[in-house]
């Protein structure tokens, strides 16, 4: 009974009736992950649909430096692994790890197939709900890619300006947070995983590495006549 009440609060099942959830609820099995425990590893086959009852999970990918980067958080009532219900060869594209002790429920592919076989209309409704989740995630990804493309275009213009400033050896005033200002010259810039970094030498000869995102704005210091 408690599981049915919980499923009614899950976005995936928002359009399902109570009698429908009474048929779906018993198919789920309880799972539990301790803090820092890995539930799924990247590039391994996914097992089925997971829904978080309480706790917090993180989707993690390894970057070029070998460090782990959290790319998505899964909180209470969030789900993941839904595509494994449809595709038998579905591969996990990230490692899923518990950030804190987490209680989940799990629906296997076999249980889902049996539901679709025995309850055709309910199975179709379930598939439609999964398609809706996938569509929303694709739209969110598209919006993010569009924003990145706009940012990339703006960034190319800024880097071109930095190149001109470096080539001309122009003195500039960089304004950072809390109106902190540094006067000097950009000697070079580097593009890394964390973004663009400026190699900046001030008028006293000290060399600084300044992340571009820390720069509020900069002013070219034209010599006075």
Res 5: pLDDT: 87
Res 76: pLDDT: 93
CA dihedral 158→159→163→166, nearest 10 degrees, is 80
Asked, colleague to colleague, whether 2-124 and 169-220 share their fold, the answer is no
Res 167: pLDDT: 79
d(CA 147, CA 94): 23
CB 11 within 8 A of CB 52: no
Res 225: pLDDT: 46
Domain ranges of the chain: 2-124, 169-220
Q: What is the pLDDT along the chain (225 residues), one digit of tens a residue?
A: 677 889 999 999 999 999 999 999 999 999 999 999 999 999 999 989 999 999 999 999 876 667 778 888 899 999 999 989 988 888 888 899 999 999 999 999 999 999 999 999 999 999 999 888 877 777 765 565 565 555 555 666 667 777 777 778 888 888 887 778 888 888 887 765 556 788 888 888 888 788 877 787 777 776 654
Res 149: pLDDT: 57
Report domain 169-220's class.
mainly beta
Res 219: pLDDT: 78
Res 160: pLDDT: 75
State the pTM of this model. Answer: 0.63
Res 64: pLDDT: 63
Res 176: pLDDT: 83
Res 26: pLDDT: 94
What CATH code is assigned to 2-124? Answer: 2.60.120.10
């Amino acid at each position: 009974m408690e599981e049915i009440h919980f499923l009614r609060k899950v976005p995936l099942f928002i359009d399902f009736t109570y009698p429908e959830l009474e048929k779906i609820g018993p198919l789920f099995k309880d799972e539990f992950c301790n803090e820092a425990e890995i539930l799924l590893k990247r590039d391994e086959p996914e097992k089925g649909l997971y829904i978080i009852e309480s706790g917090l999970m993180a989707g993690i990918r390894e970057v070029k430096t070998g460090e782990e980067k959290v790319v998505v958080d899964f909180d209470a009532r969030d789900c993941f692994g839904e595509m494994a219900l449809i595709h038998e060869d579905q591969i996990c594209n990230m490692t899923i790890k518990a950030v804190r002790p987490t209680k989940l429920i799990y629906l296997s592919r076999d249980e889902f197939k049996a539901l679709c076989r025995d309850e055709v209309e309910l199975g179709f409704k379930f598939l439609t709900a999964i398609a809706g989740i996938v569509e929303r995630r694709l739209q969110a990804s598209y919006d993010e890619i569009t924003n990145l493309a706009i940012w990339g275009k703006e960034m190319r213009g800024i880097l071109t300006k930095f190149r001109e400033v470096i080539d001309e050896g122009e003195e500039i005033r960089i304004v950072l947070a809390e109106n902190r200002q540094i006067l000097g010259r950009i000697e070079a810039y580097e593009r890394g995983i964390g973004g663009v970094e400026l190699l900046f030498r001030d008028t006293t000869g000290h060399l600084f590495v300044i992340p571009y995102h820390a720069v509020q704005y900069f002013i070219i210091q034209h010599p006075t006549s």
